[in-house]
């Protein structure tokens, strides 16, 4: 059975008498332990799907099931213990006036869980940050360190599903590599299921088992990683994304390139 089942999902925003159909009739399933990628240009609705799962976008049609049961609205406390999200911009997603310790222990306090001291230290260790960092503020950390804190915060309630919204697009290449490695290690160690959004096909390819290409809020093509690597896409749009992908000029990955 699939862990996440999204069926015929539509999201429509209404503003000033205008309707914007951000997502239209998208369906896909993600199995337990899998890493699933959503890829497309800005405005393709990929991030809106993540927000819809979290109850932060107006769902007009379709259902979202987790573990076989339809998600309640509002999502409630139990949802937060199962699904967590890491956002794109670590400069904007951490409270600037809260110490790292407060950011990390807040979910525990909300859910009435004890032992926050030990858990905060363990969470920092998990994401490869020194324990002393808990007394710092976000502005005292680099972008990569902040994103590690955001990942630690998402893991505080020990969720099984992590939604990743462009987790490395604000980071330098070398820092991106470190964060991607960290995410892969955590997925293996903790048995996490990832649903990841990115505009970078190479990042999605590196991280995900299956990929859904989206355009203008609709599903274009779903493919396995092997199909992407061997350019076996069937739609012209998926091919154009593949052709425009910047990593393609680095030559054949199996060859002698750098």
Partner 1 sequence: MTLLDVQNLRVTFDTETGPVEAVRGVSFSLGRERLGIVGESGSGKTMTGRAVLRLIRPPGHILADRMVFDGQDLMGASEREMRALRGKRIGMIMQDPKYSLNPVMTVSDQLTEGLRRRDGLGRRDAEAKALAALNAVQIRDPARVMEAYPHELSGGMGQRVMIAMMLIPEPDLLIADEPTSALDVTVQAEVLSILDSLVRDRGMGLIFISHDLRLVARFCDRVVVMYKGRVVEELLASNLLAAQHPYTKGLLNCLPRIGGPRGPLPGLDRTGDWAQ
**List 72, 130, 191, 251, residue binding partner 1 (CB under 8 A):** 251
Under the criterion CB under 8 A, does residue 201 sit at the interface with partner 1? yes
Beta bridge mates, 254: none
Least spacing, CB of residue 244 vs partner 1, in Å: 4
Whether residue 149 contacts residue 140, with contact meaning beta carbons closer than 8 Å, is answered with no
Out of 41, 61, 117, 158, the only residue in the binding site for partner 1 (CB under 8 A) is 41
Q: Does residue 180 bind partner 1 (CB under 8 A)?
A: yes
d(Cα 255, Cα 188) in Å, to the nearest integer?
A: 28
| 85 binding partner 1? (CB under 8 A) | no
CA angle 30–153–109, rounded 5-degree value = 115
> 221 forms bridges with which residues in the sheet?
213
- What contacts 178, CB < 8 A, 6 or more positions away? 144
Cβ distance to partner 1 smaller for residue 73 or 174: 174
Scanning 37-45, 49-57, 76-84, 189-197 for contacts with partner 1 by CB under 8 A, the matching segment is: 37-45
Place of tokens 């995410």: 183
The H or E element containing residue 61 is: strand 59-66
d(CA 106, CA 235): 45
Count of residues near partner 1 by CB under 8 A: 40
Shortest Cβ 188–partner 1 spacing (Å): 11
Q: Work out whether 69 is an interface residue with partner 1 (CB under 8 A).
A: no
Q: Are 149 and 134 in contact (CB under 8 A)?
A: no
Q: Does the footprint of partner 1 cover residue 190 (CB under 8 A)? A: no
Binding site for partner 1 (CB under 8 A): 41-43, 143, 172-178, 180-181, 184-185, 199, 201-203, 205-207, 228-230, 240-242, 244-251, 253-254, 257-258
């Amino acid at each position: 059975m699939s862990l996440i089942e999204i069926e015929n999902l539509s999201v429509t925003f209404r503003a000033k008498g205008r309707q914007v159909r951000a997502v239209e009739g998208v369906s896909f399933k993600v199995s337990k332990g899998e890493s699933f990628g959503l890829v497309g240009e800005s405005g393709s609705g990929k991030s809106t799907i993540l927000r819809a799962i979290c109850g932060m976008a107006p769902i007009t049609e379709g259902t979202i099931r987790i573990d076989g049961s339809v998600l309640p609205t509002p999502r409630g406390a139990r949802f937060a213990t199962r699904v967590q999200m890491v956002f794109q911009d670590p400069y904007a997603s951490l409270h600037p006036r809260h110490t790292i310790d407060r950011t990390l222990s807040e979910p525990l306090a909300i859910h009435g869980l004890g032992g926050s001291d030990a858990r905060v230290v363990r969470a920092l260790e998990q994401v490869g940050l020194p324990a002393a960092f808990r007394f710092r503020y976000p502005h005292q950390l680099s972008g990569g360190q902040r994103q590690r804190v955001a990942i630690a915060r998402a893991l505080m309630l020990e969720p099984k599903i992590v939604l990743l919204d462009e987790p490395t697009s604000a980071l330098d290449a070398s820092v991106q590599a470190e964060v991607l490695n960290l995410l892969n290690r955590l997925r293996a160690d903790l048995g996490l299921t990832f649903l990841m959004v990115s505009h970078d096909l190479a990042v999605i390819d590196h991280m995900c088992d299956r990929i859904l290409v989206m355009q203008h809020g609709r599903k274009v093509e779903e493919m396995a990683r092997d199909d992407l690597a061997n350019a076996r896409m069937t739609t012209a749009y998926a091919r154009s994304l593949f052709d425009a992908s910047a990593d393609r000029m680095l030559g054949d990955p199996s060859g002698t390139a750098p």
